[in-house]
Structure 1
Amino acid sequence: KDNKVIINLPSIVVMATPNVYDDQIEWMCTHFSDRDRVIVSLHTHNDRGCGVAATELGIMAEADRVEGTLFGNGERTGNLD
């Protein structure tokens, strides 16, 4: 049975630029000892207009999935959409 652990790496108040967030994701993905047992999930917000860039760079840094919204529905208007 697949018992994978989901690790969520949020960028909800955009304290780092997309390239710094990308470096953090890449570091996490390369330093897990059992990377195949971990699902790296991203949760970005677009408060400063960098949500899409942060998400794209995060996927390039080997994240496995992205949380977002459809048509702006979600907790607040800053969610990646």
Structure 2
Amino acid sequence: MPSITIRNVPDDVHRAIRVRAAMHGRSAEAEIRDILEKAAKPEGRLKLGSLLTSIAREAGGLSDAEAEHFNQLRDKTPADPVSFE
């Protein structure tokens, strides 16, 4: 799993993270991971595949059984990041 180093975090921000972590019963590092995950993958985000499926259903071109079949076939492994070098 990748690691990230964040430099020059202001003292008041670091203190607020430690307090927030204590309130949630976890380490500051675990709290930061949670904050990053929620920022990068917010609840209720619109996923392209879900949007396209709903459009196809509304248009009458896709039954529930077909949608489920396509969902089972979908590759759920994360894509590799793009390299510009």
TM-score range, shorter chain: under 0.3
Which structure has the bigger radius of gyration?
A: 2
Higher RCO (CA 8 Å, separation ≥ 6 residues): 1
Structure with the higher helix share, 1 or 2: 2
The alignment's TM-score, normalised by the length of structure 2, stands at 0.26
Structure with the higher strand share, 1 or 2: 1
The alignment's TM-score, normalised by the length of structure 1, stands at 0.26
